[in-house]
Structure 1
Amino acid sequence: MLKFECLEQCLSCERTLLNTSLEHDIHYTIRNVFEYMFSTNARLETISFVVVKHLFAFQNSIQSSNCLRLRSVLGNESIRRFKYILNTDLASCRLKLASILYCSGHLRAVARVLEDLERIYHSKVKAVCGCVELEGDRDLQVFADMLSGHSVNEFSKPQFACCVRFLRQEVYCTPVILLFKMNRNMSEKEVAQRGYADKQWMDNAVVDSRPFLHYLQYLTYRGLGEREKQLHVLGVLEFNICDTRKQIQLYHPNTALHLLGHCYEMEGDYDSALHYYDESLRCCGTTNNAANWHVQRVRRVRRLISG
């Protein structure tokens, strides 16, 4: 539970730091965070170390995005840097790396990264988010269940999966569907309705790790022409989102529904796509919800098809 709280505080701290100083100089931000690492408070030191790793991940991703924006070849050094931060948590940095590789066209490499992640992403991995709190987040039974059935060596591996966050500075290594999350409002009036906490993350795209894993797999297998695997991961994605037993904890269910709806758009099944976009509007509200854009788009496509 201590590790969970450290990661949660790390994400919250990171969110504030990025929103206030990233535009000026991310190097300066990292240097400031390092000051905490020399604190006599071991808890602050742990949080600071994780924050630094996450900031390095953002730095690598932003540099990669700039590289892709300039249509330059993504260098091996940019990819190699990720090996130093992959163990920050189980999934988020691996998924950020996979997204960069996907946007740069290295589909075989993406498939390997995602398949390796899927092998270690067992059912007892706990999701962590710095934007949203869920009831039961600190239920001691959840942490006890995480321990059961695992040896000491197994439990030394990361047991938490942070949500994946994309900033506006990362647009060139962000899947297109998530760019709508960065412009989720239909009017300036909706922006004015955001509270302080909302303003900390609503201009970014934030997605739960597990549905994002399967969505990236869907995109990758689609690009590779591996239809059987593509349909399999679509089924897994749909099951994880729609499972009535709620075995998969989602902090951002509306984003997960958008990913699923987009998969059905790519399948040409516009009725199912609309169903999931409408479900997002129903369960998460119409204000500041990117599903409004998706519904408009799908309805326009259907009108064009029907003549």
Structure 2
Amino acid sequence: MRHIVQAGELRGLCLRNSIRLMLKIECCDMFENRLITLHNLRSSHSTFEQDLKYVIHKFYENSTNVIRKAAAIEWIKHLYALHISMQGSSYLRLRNVLDSENIRRVQYCFNSDVASSRLKFASMLYCGGHLRAAVRVLKDVEGRYHSNVKTVCGCRIIQGDRDLKVFANMLSGNTDNEFSKYLTFCVKLLRQESYCTPFILLFEMNRNISEEEVAQRSLVGKQWMDIAEVDARPFLHYLQYLTYGGLGERGNQLYALRFLNSYICDARNRIHMYHFETSLNLLGHCYEMEGNYESALYYYEKSLLRFSTNNAANWHVRRVLRIISG
């Protein structure tokens, strides 16, 4: 009888934590949508950094219940990471070297989720030429991934991704409330972070090839089309491919490419990929860098089957065809 009672208590605790986790994600989505709106509608008379400070204050001030306040605290860490990334981008634009103070400050944001903040940091290190440091961060991220990590996106929804059973399975056998161990957000890169962004993702900030495509965008699409957004796990392996290539570690580079390929092409992982067309573009770019233009075109065209317009793959296909034609 005692075992039955204990099992019932554990199920009840898991259900409560599942509901809390789902509500927390919903709050984070709300905050992210506000951030995107701020990015698009901010006053030209203020700096984005000033706007961020205002939003951080309002997030916390207007969070009246416990769950919303907890979500606000977590999202403030993302905003702080964004602020640091923007500063790092400004340093790199001026050809300055990232100093220890930049690196120390960004570590404050690491415990906001499993991967996204760390991946942005690794991207900053890679773009700053700190390849060995980038590799260490990427190895740390890879070690933090486990089978129950759930990807969360604020701009797209996959059918069934907010089912309570999904959260219950994630938390099964765990009674702690450290939700950051189970979640990773998509990696979002704004134009103000361009110098901390790998070259190929700059095309994601300019997806359209004509004004007609801009007119085709939905209201939601217009809000985030000028932002590069990529799923965390594919971005992890893409960054590994870049950094190992920069270090001349060919074996590790090819291993990263194989892992990226197998992850993207495994249909079971689609539940974790909200930006599948962008992941295909990253894979295509790896093959393009390999000089395997046939495979590059294959994945770019596969990306276009997903979205034929407002897709950076249109730029990539044109570039590869120009290379082939000489």
Band of TM-score, shorter chain? over 0.9
Pair 1:67-2:73 in alignment: no
Asked if the contact 1:62–1:170 (Cα under 8 Å) also holds between the matched residues in 2, the reply is yes
Structure 1 residue 153: Cα displacement: 5.4
**CA distance in 1 between partners of 2:159 and 2:318 (Å):** 33
Asked if the contact 1:277–1:291 (Cα under 8 Å) also holds between the matched residues in 2, the reply is yes
CA pair 178-22 structure 1, distance change in 2 beyond 3 A: farther
Pair 1:109-2:133 in alignment: yes
Asked if the contact 1:91–1:209 (Cα under 8 Å) also holds between the matched residues in 2, the reply is yes
Deviates more, 1:95-104 or 1:68-77: 68-77
Pair 1:146-2:167 in alignment: no
Deviates more, 1:49-58 or 1:228-237: 49-58
Structure 1 residue 250: Cα displacement: 0.5
CA pair 32-176 structure 1, distance change in 2 beyond 3 A: closer
Cross-structure match for 1:296:
318
**CA distance in 1 between partners of 2:113 and 2:214 (Å):** 32
Cross-structure match for 2:23:
2
Structure 2: stretches of 5+ with no match in the other structure: 1-21
Q: What SS does the corresponding residue of 1:246 show, helix, strand or coil?
A: helix
Asked if the contact 1:185–1:287 (Cα under 8 Å) also holds between the matched residues in 2, the reply is yes
Q: What SS does the corresponding residue of 1:206 show, helix, strand or coil?
A: strand
TM-score by length of 1: 0.93
- TM-align CA RMSD: 1.8
Q: What SS does the corresponding residue of 1:87 show, helix, strand or coil?
A: helix
Cross-structure match for 2:33:
12
Q: What SS does the corresponding residue of 1:37 show, helix, strand or coil?
A: helix
Structure 1 residue 158: Cα displacement: 2.4
Structure 2 residue identity aligned to 1:178:
L
Q: 1:134 aligns with which of 139, 148, 158?
A: 158
Pair 1:213-2:217 in alignment: no
Structure 1 residue identity aligned to 2:288:
E
Asked if the contact 1:85–1:93 (Cα under 8 Å) also holds between the matched residues in 2, the reply is yes
Q: What SS does the corresponding residue of 2:309 show, helix, strand or coil?
A: coil
Structure 1 residue 248: Cα displacement: 5.2
Deviation digits for residues 39-92 of structure 1, max 9, x if unmatched? 432233223223322211111111111111110111211111111111111111
**CA distance in 2 between partners of 1:46 and 1:13 (Å):** 17
Structure 2 residue identity aligned to 1:115:
K
CA pair 290-122 structure 1, distance change in 2 beyond 3 A: same
**CA distance in 1 between partners of 2:254 and 2:279 (Å):** 17
Structure 1 residue 152: Cα displacement: 3.8
Asked if the contact 2:240–2:253 (Cα under 8 Å) also holds between the matched residues in 1, the reply is yes
Pair 1:200-2:233 in alignment: no
**CA distance in 1 between partners of 2:157 and 2:33 (Å):** 11
CA pair 166-194 structure 1, distance change in 2 beyond 3 A: same
Deviation digits for residues 78-130 of structure 1, max 9, x if unmatched? 11111111111111110100000000000000000000110011121100111
Pair 1:170-2:190 in alignment: no
Q: Percent identity?
A: 54
Within 5 Å, give how 1:170-249 maps onto structure 2. Answer: 170-246=193-269, 249=272
Deviation digits for residues 189-230 of structure 1, max 9, x if unmatched? 111221211111001100000100000001011111111111
Structure 1 residue 21: Cα displacement: 2.7
Deviates more, 1:107-116 or 1:223-232: 223-232
**CA distance in 1 between partners of 2:28 and 2:58 (Å):** 18
Give aligned pairs, total. 302
Deviates more, 1:164-173 or 1:95-104: 164-173
Deviation digits for residues 218-247 of structure 1, max 9, x if unmatched? 101111111111111111111111113336
Cross-structure match for 2:12:
none
**CA distance in 2 between partners of 1:261 and 1:114 (Å):** 21
Asked if the contact 1:281–1:292 (Cα under 8 Å) also holds between the matched residues in 2, the reply is yes
Q: What SS does the corresponding residue of 2:75 show, helix, strand or coil?
A: helix
Structure with the greater alpha carbon radius of gyration:
2
